[in-house]
Every structure is written in structure tokens, then in C-alpha cells.
Amino acid sequence: MTYLANKLRKRIEIRQAVQTPNDEGGYDRSYETLLTIWGGVEPIKANSYIRGSNSEEETSTHKFIFRRIALATLGTAMGSGFGEGFDTIVDLNLLKSEFFLFMKKGSVKGKLFRINDIKNEEERDEFLTVFAEEIEEYGTGYNA
């Protein structure tokens, strides 16, 4: 087992935003859980980036690490109805910028993160490093 695998101790939900029409003529936003996986997370220090760069890492508050194989089911785009011989066609980008990360904290709290940047850890195709920005903290419960 590699060193990074020992750091994957948090259960992280990969979520997608869903808009549903409401009675007032607008939309209510909720989140659908696509996948729950083990991941590592650590906060990013405010001075850990080079000043003046336009990197997405500047707005990121946390760095997540995931095993690439754990995200493999997110990339399946088409089922067997596409034609013979095509069980699934895998998307090259497993995580999308429209996805959110949710980390439960106890039984009634959690933190929601917006994905800013994704990097292939050491170009080995084993781990993905995801830079994300904390956008909301749920304190009264979460929708399962």
C-alpha cells in the first residue's frame, strides 16, 4: 500500500447540483449524490501559493486526494443500448467542474466544496489531486 493510500480516511460524497421548479416561478437548488468514496483532505495555507499567479489554487481552501479507480464509475457515459459491443464508453475527465464535494462532519453537519482544479498526482494515473473551495457549511443537518 502506498503512502497516499494511508491518508484516504474521510468519506467524501461527489454531488451534482439539481434545480427543480418551485411554486413561486423560480427554482430550488438541491444536490444529488452520485458517488461516495474514501478520500484525503487537508486545508491549504493562505500563503502556500505564489503571489501574482492566476492559478485556480489561489481561491482553493482545501486539497483532496482520491484514488482514480474509485472515480471510474463517474465516467461511464453510455450503456449497452448504444449498440453491440459498447458496454460503456468512459469519459476521460472523471470529475467535472460542475460537481461538488461534500464532507460529512458528524451526523448532522458537513461542508460543501466547489471543484476548482484537478491534477493527476505524479502522472502515474493512480491518484487525483483536487483543489476545491469551501462554499457552505451545513449546521442544522444535511439532505441524504
Residue closest to 31 by CA, chosen among 118, 88, 113, 140: 113
Nine cell digits for residue 133:
473551495
Question: Are the C-beta atoms of residues 96 and 71 closer than 8 Å to each other?
Answer: no
> How is residue 25 annotated by DSSP?
S
Specify the pTM.
Answer: 0.73
pLDDT attached to residue 72: 78
4-138 is a CATH 1.10.300.10 domain: no
* Separation between Cα atoms, residue 95 and residue 98, nearest integer Å: 8
Q: What is the pLDDT along the chain (144 residues), one digit of tens a residue?
A: 565 667 888 999 999 999 999 999 889 888 899 999 999 999 997 655 444 445 544 688 999 999 888 887 775 544 444 555 544 444 456 787 889 999 988 777 889 999 998 888 777 778 889 999 999 776 554 454
- Residue by residue, DSSP assigns 59-109 as T--EEEEEEGGGGGGGGB---GGG-TT-S--B-S-SS-TTEEEEEEETTTE
